[in-house]
C-alpha cells in the first residue's frame, strides 16, 4: 500500500477466457499482482498470439482488467467477451 498508480500497463504470456491473464514467471507475477492491486485501472498490451494461451501463474481475472490493447482483432468470441465484461478492447 506504499504505492499507487493511476494505470498499470503490463503484458502477459497468455489470456484465457476462464482463467484471465496468465504468466510464466512466478516472481514477476507477484510484483505484477501487487501493482494491479494498487492501480486505479489496468491495461494489458498483448499481441494476437497471446489469446487462448495458457501459462503457469494467474496474474488477474478479467474483473481487474479495464483495457486490452492488441495488434489485430482477436475474433468474435473475445470481442463479445470484452463487451460483456466492460473491458475496452483496442486493436
pLDDT of 28-63, one tens digit each? 999 999 999 999 999 999 999 999 999 999 999 999
Residue 83, pLDDT above cutoff 90: yes
**Contact (Cβ atoms closer than 8 angstroms) between residue 51 and residue 86:** no
Note if the pTM is more than 0.85. Answer: yes
Residue 10 to residue 88: CA distance in whole angstroms: 15
pLDDT at 44: 98
pLDDT at 3: 83
Mention every residue, 6+ apart, whose C-beta is less than 8 A from residue 4: 38, 39, 40
Amino acid at each position: 500500500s506504499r504505492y499507487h498508480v493511476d494505470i498499470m500497463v503490463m503484458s502477459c504470456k497468455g489470456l484465457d477466457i476462464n482463467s484471465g491473464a496468465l504468466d510464466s514467471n512466478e516472481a514477476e507475477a507477484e510484483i505484477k499482482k501487487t501493482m494491479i492491486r494498487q492501480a486505479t485501472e489496468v491495461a494489458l498490451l498483448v499481441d494476437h498470439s497471446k489469446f487462448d494461451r495458457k501459462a503457469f501463474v494467474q496474474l488477474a481475472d478479467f474483473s481487474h482488467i479495464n483495457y486490452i490493447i492488441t495488434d489485430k482483432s482477436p475474433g468474435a468470441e473475445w470481442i463479445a467477451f470484452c463487451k460483456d465484461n466492460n473491458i475496452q478492447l483496442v486493436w
